[in-house]
Amino acid sequence: MASFSIPFTFSLILSILSVSAQSIDRTLNSVIFTTNTPSPLPSHHPLQSDDLRPIDIVLLASVDGRFYGLNRTTGEVVWTTDAPGSKAIDLYALVRTEHPELGGGASMVDMDNRSLSSEDIFIIEPQSGHIFLNPAGARCDGPLQRLPFSMAQLVDMSPFRFDDGKTFVGKKRSSFISLDLRLGKIMEISDPEQSTRGDGRNELSDELLDRLDGTVVYIRRTDYHVSVFSKGRVIQNLTYSAYDPKDIDKKVKYLWHQMPDSWYHQPTPDGSLLVFKTDEREPLRHLVKFEHPIVAVFDTVTTSDRTYPLLLLQPTPSLQDLYPSRREEVTKLALKGRIVYVGRIGDSLYALSHQTYPHVLFSLLPTQRTFEDDSLYRLFHDTNEFGEGCTSLDCLIGAHYIETASP
C-alpha cells in the first residue's frame, strides 16, 4: 500500500498561530561549551535550584534510538551518533513491535487474508511507555483507547490478566551508556546479555580521554518486553526502551521544574524541534529538522560538587507559555479533546500523546469525518469505505482522539 505524507507540518502551526516564518532566526553560530560553574558550596549547604547551571549542549534522543547534541541557544546540531545498525554500537529504535498474526511484517496481512481490524493493535508511546489500543473490530480511523497501565507497570505486575482474557507476560533488562558531550562519541555500552563494547575509547588517546573526563554523561537504557497472549497464542510482542539519567537524586529532579534561562526545546510529530525563549514577547526562535521525531530532551547541568555534568529531563512548558500572544486560541484548542498521534518507525507503530508532547495538539485530524468533500478525507486514507477493510498498519498513521480503556 502506498504510504501517505504525515499530516503535520510546521507551516500548520504558523498558519494557526499567525507566526511569521520570516521571524524565525535560523542563523547557526559556533558552539561555545561553557559551564558557568557556581562558587563551591559548603558541605552543609542544601542544594537549591540556583545551584543547577545548564551548559550549552542539550542531549536529544530520537525515536530511532539515535542521540544528537544541540546548541541550546543557537539550535545548531553539533553532532549525531551513528545511525542505528551502521556500526557495532547497539542503538536501536525505542519502540519495536511484532505481529505474529499478521505474518510478522507491518504491511502484511495474516494467512487467512483477514482484515487488520480483526486483531487488537497495541501502540507504545516512547519515553513514557503508555500503551494505546486500536481494538479488534474498531475502525482504523477511530479513537484509540489508552490502557490504565504502562509498559513498566505491566512488567512489574507480570504475568497479568485483563478481564477480557488477554494475558501480559513481561520482562526487563537495563544497560549502561557513557557518552561524551563534546565529540558525540559513545564511550561504552554495558549490557548484561552482551559484551561491553566501546566506540570512542579505542579511537582516542589516553591524554584526550583524561581531558574528556568532565564532559562524559551517563545514561541508563531500560528495555521492557511484553508478550500479549489471547486464547493461548501470542497476538503481539511489544518492546519499549527508555533513556533516563543515572542515579539522579529525587530532590534534584524536583528542583529542575523550569528552565532558569527560559530556553525550551519542543518536538513535533513531523521530526521538527522548536526552540523557544519564553521570557520574550514572541518566544519562538529556531526550527530544527530531524529525520525522525525527537522523543526525549535532556538538559546537561553542572553543580560545584560534581566533576561531570548531570542529565535532567527538560521540563515541559505549557503551550500558553510558548505562544503568549495566542493564549486564548491555544487554550480553546487544548479543550477540544485528548489527542494522540500515531507514527511509524520501521515495521513498528509508536504513539505521541499531547500530554507528553504538547505540540501534538496542532496535528491535523483527517481521521475525523468533518470534511465537506469526501475526496479530501480519502486523500489521507488508502482504505475501503472510510477505514473498513484496512490491511496495513499505515491506516493508523495520523491523529486520533483518546478514550480510556477499562482493565
C-alpha cell belonging to residue 131 = 500503551
CA distance 25 to 74: 9
Alpha-carbon separation of residue 326 from 18, 68, 344, 380 (angstroms): 9, 31, 31, 29
CA distance 129 to 125: 5
Provide the pLDDT for residue 388.
52
CA distance 239 to 148: 18
> Do 353 and 384 contact (CB within 8 A), yes or no?
no
**How many Å separate Cα 186 from the centre of its chain?**
20
Provide the pLDDT for residue 87.
52
Nearest to 142 by CA among 391, 324, 361, 387: 387
Provide the pLDDT for residue 146.
94
Q: What is the DSSP letter of 371?
A: -
Query: In the chain, what are the domain boundaries?
Result: 10-404
Nearest to 311 by CA among 298, 328, 320: 298
Residue 396, amino acid: L
Provide the pLDDT for residue 90.
65
CA distance 84 to 65: 7
Provide the pLDDT for residue 101.
63
Q: Exposed/middle/buried for 230, CB within 10 Å: 0-12, 13-18, 19+?
A: middle
Alpha-carbon dihedral of residues 35, 38, 44, 45, nearest 10 degrees?
A: -110
CA distance 8 to 352: 13
Q: Beta partners for 230? A: 233
Number of neighbouring beta carbons within 10 Å of residue 261: 12
> Do 91 and 42 contact (CB within 8 A), yes or no?
no
pLDDT one digit per residue (tens) for the chain, 407 residues: 333 334 445 555 544 444 433 333 332 233 333 333 333 334 444 555 556 778 889 999 999 999 999 999 999 999 998 755 445 456 789 999 887 765 544 433 343 445 566 778 899 999 899 999 998 888 888 899 999 999 999 999 989 888 888 899 999 999 888 888 888 888 888 877 654 555 544 444 444 444 445 688 889 999 999 999 988 888 889 999 999 887 666 667 667 777 778 899 999 999 999 999 998 888 999 999 999 999 999 998 887 776 678 888 998 988 989 999 888 888 888 787 789 999 999 889 999 999 999 999 887 544 444 334 443 334 334 443 334 556 677 888 999 989 876 55
Strand 339-345 to 167-180 pairing: unpaired
**How many Å separate Cα 179 from the centre of its chain?**
19
DSSP percent split of the chain into helix, strand, coil, nearest 5: 20, 35, 45
- Three-state SS across 272-292? EEEEEECCCCCCEEEEEECCC
The SS3 assignment for 101 reads: helix
Provide the pLDDT for residue 262.
86
Q: Which uninterrupted H or E stretch holds 54?
A: strand 53-62
